[in-house]
Amino acid sequence: MRFCKHILFFQIFILLNKFFFAQPVEIPTIDFITVNQTSSLPVIHWSVNNPSVLNGYAVKRFIRSYPTVPNDTWHTVQRIENSNVFSYEDNSVSYGEATPNIQSEIYEITAYKINGTDTVFSLPSDKHKTIYVSGNYDYCSNKVTIIWNNYIGWENSFLKYRIYRKENSGSFIKIAETFYNDTVFVNTNPNYNSDYTYYVKAVRNDGTESLSNLKLITTQAINFPSFLKIDSAVIYNNSEFNISFSGDETADVDQYFLFKSYFSDADYMQIDDLQNINNTKLKFSDKNIDINKNAYYYIAAVDYCGNIVFRSDTVSNIALFATAYSGNRINSLKWNDIYSNSRYQIFRSQNNSQFNQITNTGNHSYEDNIQSLYENQFLSETISGKFCYYVQIKENDFLNKSNITCAEQDETVIFPNAFNPKSTIDENRTFKPKAAFISDYQLTIYGSLGEALFESMNPDIGWNGMLKNGKLAPISSYLYIVKYKNSKGKYVKLKKYVTLVY
């Protein structure tokens, strides 16, 4: 029992002797960590006072995430078995590759020496952290913002940051300097459509430098529209103004705005917007149009920042007015717009028929002489006295169509006071009116007992004096009632007498 106690005491003595009398292993000092901008790998530089008493070093990296180890733990990525080596480029893949281009990397170093069969490690060095630069480009304000983390490891010996930039294949130039914790730099008004490469250099007060990763940022200019063409401007159903247009399919346009004013050169206000979906044919509709008043419009292309980058030419509606002068059977047309040096096609509809072009003119007025149409009714069927018109410009793939307006000619209905079925003159043998510009005609002639002797729905078909039994009516005065609708849509009823003689 006493022997065992002596053995235990001896072992404890040996361990305490090793602990109290063993030489401590020197802790390395990391001088700096930098990023090799060619290989995009971190490079650690360190120093010790007496490398000859050491056998090597262990390089440890802070592992944020790796499948086989806990998150946010330290692990040795390289053991360097030469005490005279004082730098290491971390190309280890033991716990995943070092990625200073996408995050900052943190390192510490321990030294070791071998005593017989024992390997003794120093305490770890202070931690050093690489500079990771990120950034972005804001087209709307045309500025590049770069952001980086503070270099960790120099503490009070830190001096400044220097920011470098190159454009495309040019050389790097220093563009700014900042101090610790000032880790944001804004590069204003860079050139559009250029590749800018940035990096940050940390400087210690003794001139030692640490480089960040390289950050490539490409500035972009939108593809401005080369055209914005209004294809048509048409009054539809006399109630809305439809503006169809074509945009540049290659342009970076987010939406289009429609502007309107009642003055051609001032006071335009946005009244509508339209999202640019496919850059093809698009249309605005102004349902608050006053067809009797000129309004002026233009369309603006808007980029993704809300800036107007292109605008169309100005268009206006064509406000057409028509006045009937029944005395000389003329319909006078006048119109207002902003166009000059244009040819206007004039279209007319009569008797509720389809529109047909009747002429063209370079003026802003036209007098439509309808005398022949008036007179032809005395020889054939009557037509409505309502004449409707529109004018349009159609040139250079552009169409502008006015409102439809109508002129209402006064009707003519003249009945003879007497007729003679036995006359040698044809027009005196039949009782019928000389009529023009009426519709829905109805004539009824009555006998002395109030019976209907004759009826006609056609002004060209008159009474020849014959009764329904085929005999000639006796000489007498006969009541007739005529009904018709005039060009204004009003129904007229006349009650008169005609004398039959022979």
Mean pLDDT of 213-239: 95
- Convert the pLDDT of each residue in 124-143 to its tens digit: 999 999 999 999 999 999 99
Q: Are 332 and 399 within one domain? A: yes
In a domain, 4, yes or no: no
Q: Are 32 and 123 within one domain? A: yes
Q: Are 276 and 355 within one domain? A: no
Integer Rg of the chain from CA: 51
Q: Are 384 and 364 within one domain? A: yes
Q: Are 299 and 314 in contact (CB under 8 A)?
A: no
End-to-end CA distance of the chain: 176
Mean pLDDT of 470-489: 96
Q: What is the pLDDT of residue 19?
A: 42
Both tokens assigned to 180: 């610790």
∠ CA 263-269-271 to the nearest 5 degrees? 120
Domain boundary among 108, 128, 148: 128
Q: Are 333 and 356 within one domain? A: yes
Residue 272 to residues 236, 269, 339, 486, Cα–Cα distance (Å): 18, 9, 24, 43
User: What percent of the chain is modeled with pLDDT above 70?
Assistant: 95
pTM for the whole thing?
A: 0.70
Half-sphere exposure of 484 (CA within 13 A, CB side): 27
Question: In sequence order, what DSSP letters do the residues of 346-373 get, joined into one string?
Answer: EEEEETT---EEEEEESSSEEEEE-HHH
Could you list the residue range(s) of the whole structural domain that residue 439 is in? 412-500
Mean pLDDT of 43-64: 98
CA separation for the pair 404, 237 (Å, rounded): 8
Q: What is the pLDDT of residue 144?
A: 98
- Look at the chain and report how many structural domains it folds into: 5
Q: Are 236 and 305 within one domain? A: yes
Neighbour tally for 385: CB within 10 Å: 29
Instruction: With cut-offs at 50, 70 and 90, classify the pLDDT of residue 380.
Output: confident
Q: What is the pLDDT of residue 465?
A: 98
Q: What is the pLDDT of residue 14?
A: 45
In a domain, 75, yes or no: yes
The mean pLDDT of the chain is: 94
Is 404 a residue whose pLDDT tops 80? Answer: yes
Q: Whose CA is closest to 315, among 251, 229, 257, 226? A: 229
In a domain, 137, yes or no: yes
3-class secondary-structure state, position 493: strand
Residue 239 to residues 169, 189, 235, 285, 293, Cα–Cα distance (Å): 61, 48, 7, 10, 12
Domain boundary among 285, 316, 347: 316
Q: What is the pLDDT of residue 18?
A: 46
Both tokens assigned to 441: 């005609």
Q: Are 139 and 106 within one domain? A: no
Q: Are 257 and 281 within one domain? A: yes
Q: Are 296 and 241 in contact (CB under 8 A)?
A: no
Phi, psi of 155, deg, nearest 5: 50, -120
CA separation for the pair 72, 61 (Å, rounded): 10
Residue 105 to residues 23, 33, 113, 183, Cα–Cα distance (Å): 32, 9, 27, 17
Domain CATH code at residue 381? 2.60.40.10
Instruction: With cut-offs at 50, 70 and 90, classify the pLDDT of residue 47.
Output: very high
Q: What is the pLDDT of residue 5?
A: 47
* Secondary structure in 3-state letters for 321-342: EEEEECCCCEEEEEEECCCCCC
Q: Whose CA is closest to 111, among 44, 28, 49? A: 28
In a domain, 50, yes or no: yes
In a domain, 12, yes or no: no
The better pLDDT of the pair 457, 281 is held by: 457
Q: Are 252 and 301 within one domain? A: yes
Q: Are 500 and 476 in contact (CB under 8 A)?
A: yes
Is 20 a residue whose pLDDT tops 50? Answer: no
In a domain, 223, yes or no: no
Both tokens assigned to 252: 């970076």
- Convert the pLDDT of each residue in 419-435 to its tens digit: 999 999 999 999 999 99
In a domain, 160, yes or no: yes
Domain CATH code at residue 487? 2.60.40
Is 12 a residue whose pLDDT tops 60? Answer: no
Domain boundary among 250, 285, 316: 316
∠ CA 12-13-14 to the nearest 5 degrees? 90
Q: What is the pLDDT of residue 23?
A: 64
User: Could you tell me the strand order of the sheet in which 41-47 lies?
Assistant: 29-36, 41-47, 87-89
Q: Are 338 and 296 in contact (CB under 8 A)?
A: yes
CA separation for the pair 42, 451 (Å, rounded): 120
CA separation for the pair 397, 386 (Å, rounded): 32
Both tokens assigned to 192: 């559009």
Q: Are 238 and 184 within one domain? A: no
Is 333 a residue whose pLDDT tops 90? Answer: yes
Q: Are 283 and 340 within one domain? A: no
In a domain, 144, yes or no: yes
Q: Are 491 and 422 within one domain? A: yes
CA separation for the pair 482, 455 (Å, rounded): 10
CA separation for the pair 331, 373 (Å, rounded): 12
Could you tell me which residues are beta bridge partners of residue 326? none
